[in-house]
């Protein structure tokens, strides 16, 4: 595909993201707590609050920095009557349970001092029953001044019992009335929210279900306003499938790369938690061999312009899926291979909070458990060390962040690809199979190499090099 004149923020391709669900990450004693919180270690529930807050994030930035994180993606933080805060009451106020605007300001200052970016979740397709303009309709019916902010079909509205609710709502959920974004006042309001928080100091927006605002002009103006407020802000959309129409340089910079996650799982996984996966947007996973994975990878690397590919938010899991280790039925070897691919392919890798410690959990709400800060004996220190090694390798080696990507060989369950940047080349090999396998001769590799993960030396081209079962190398050439 010919490269388009894109202005994707340069910093994103160097980023390592960390997604935080604020209610479940950390509590700070500096934020007043409601009396009805669930005990922190107990399993999460659909509606219960744990009491995590933004100052709790501030107090654990050392953990993120040691892990090698350079950017934080926060699930919604605006005032809401839900623990996930996708039911927004006030778009101009950080939820007091999270510490309010002052807590966000402190988080931004502390993060930026460490070189960490902060991206917020923007829920602009729908609001909530408690949103002022919709609440006005509930109170005043046909006399409301805000009837054109939503699509109302009949009165009285049925805002709690379901069935025929009388207005358009996301997935017909009465708690989530859908904005009528054809209304000029609604458009101006939402564009203004985007601008406001960028001027406040955030570094970008992750857009919730943006494809459901099926209006290119809306998103084009959203981008223009946001870039006028902050010229290097990152705009990434939650779109689960192909996203060509939104990635032409006039709407989003990138999307959450769920297609890559599916491809990686299919290649490295031995089996999957099918029932849990089916409940999420991933829907279904099938095992694939190396040639099929290489074909999938080739499509993902060429579908969009290079600047977009390098700005994709690459992830294995999120608040909307089961956790990665659960998807893989507890297979740690597969999880390590999945992360190896995630960190060596182009795009910005994103770690879902707690995955680095080995947290498990099925679909929502089980995937939204609390961080076990008080129980470090439960942490998977080996996994934490491995992910820290991967973030460090990516930080130190420009080809893994900015290099061109070429698949050199794919045979059986072994894939080999190169990352080239300027005069530096790194070669990544992954054997997803249960047996050691020779390096495919079709890769055309000869000479001495050093494995940057294990530190050992590998001689290629002699016919004797075999990649151990379910393992991977990141190789740097040492000459003949």
Is 148 a residue of the active site? no
Is 238 a residue of the active site? yes
Among 228, 212, 49, smallest CA distance to 122 is for 212
CB 261 within 8 A of CB 243: no
Q: Could you give the 3-state DSSP secondary structure of residue 178?
A: strand
Q: Could you give the 3-state DSSP secondary structure of residue 411?
A: strand
How many whole angstroms from its chain centre is CA 109? 23
Could you identify the residue written with the tokens 């100052």? 55
Beta partners for residue 71, in sequence order? 17, 117
How far apart are alpha carbons 214 and 233 in whole angstroms? 22
Catalytic residue among 238, 276, 296, 331: 238
CB 24 within 8 A of CB 50: yes
How far apart are alpha carbons 314 and 255 in whole angstroms? 9
Inter-CA distances, 446 with 350, 442, 454, Å: 34, 11, 19
Peptide bond into 365 cis (omega under 30): yes
Beta partners for residue 467, in sequence order? 437
Catalytic residue among 95, 121, 208, 331: 208
CB 443 within 8 A of CB 463: no
What is the helix (H) or strand (E) element at residue 236, kind and residue range? strand 234-237
Tell me the catalytic residues.
Answer: 208, 238
């Amino acid at each position: 595909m010919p490269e388009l004149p894109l202005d994707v923020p340069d910093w994103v391709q160097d980023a390592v993201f960390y997604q935080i669900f604020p209610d479940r990450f950390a509590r700070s004693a500096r934020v007043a707590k409601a009396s009805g919180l669930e005990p922190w270690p107990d399993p999460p529930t659909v509606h219960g609050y744990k009491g995590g807050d933004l100052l709790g994030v501030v107090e654990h930035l050392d953990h993120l920095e040691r892990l090698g994180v350079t950017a934080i993606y926060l699930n919604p933080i605006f005032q809401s009557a839900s623990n996930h805060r996708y039911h927004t009451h006030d778009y101009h106020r950080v939820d007091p349970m999270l510490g309010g605007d002052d807590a966000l300001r402190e988080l931004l200052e502390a993060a930026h001092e460490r070189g960490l970016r902060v991206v917020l979740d923007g829920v602009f397709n729908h609001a909530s029953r408690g949103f002022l303009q919709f609440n006005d309709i509930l109170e005043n019916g046909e006399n409301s001044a805000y009837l054109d902010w939503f699509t109302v079909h009949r009165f009285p509205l049925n805002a709690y019992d379901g069935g025929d609710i009388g207005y358009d709502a996301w997935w017909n959920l009465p708690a989530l009335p859908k904005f009528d974004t054809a209304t000029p006042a609604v458009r101006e309001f939402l564009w203004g929210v985007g601008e406001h928080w960028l001027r406040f100091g955030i570094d970008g927006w992750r857009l919730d279900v943006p494809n459901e605002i099926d209006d290119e002009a809306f998103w084009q103006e959203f981008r223009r306003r946001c870039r006028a407020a902050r010229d290097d802000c990152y705009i990434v959309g939650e779109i689960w499938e192909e996203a060509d129409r939104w990635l032409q340089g006039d709407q989003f910079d990138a999307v959450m790369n769920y297609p890559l996650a599916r491809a990686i799982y299919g290649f490295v996984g031995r089996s999957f938690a099918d029932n849990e996966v089916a409940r999420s947007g991933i829907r279904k996973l099938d095992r694939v061999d190396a040639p099929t994975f290489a074909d999938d990878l080739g499509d993902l690397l060429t579908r969009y312009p290079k600047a977009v590919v390098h700005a994709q938010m690459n992830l294995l899991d999120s608040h909307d899926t089961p956790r990665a280790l659960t998807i893989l039925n507890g297979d740690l070897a597969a999880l390590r291979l999945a992360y190896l691919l995630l960190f060596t392919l182009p795009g910005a890798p994103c770690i879902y909070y707690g995955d680095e410690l080995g947290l498990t959990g099925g679909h929502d709400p089980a995937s939204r458990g609390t961080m076990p800060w008080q129980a470090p004996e439960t942490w998977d220190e080996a996994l934490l060390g491995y992910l820290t090694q991967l973030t460090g390798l990516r930080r130190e080696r420009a080809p893994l962040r900015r290099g061109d990507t070429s698949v050199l060989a794919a045979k059986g369950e072994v894939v080999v690809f190169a990352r080239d940047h300027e005069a530096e080349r790194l070669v990544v090999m992954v054997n997803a199979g249960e047996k050691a396998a020779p390096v495919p001769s079709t890769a055309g590799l000869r000479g001495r190499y050093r494995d940057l993960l294990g530190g050992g030396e590998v001689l290629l081209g002699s016919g004797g090099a075999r990649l151990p079962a379910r393992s991977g190398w990141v190789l740097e050439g040492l000459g003949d």
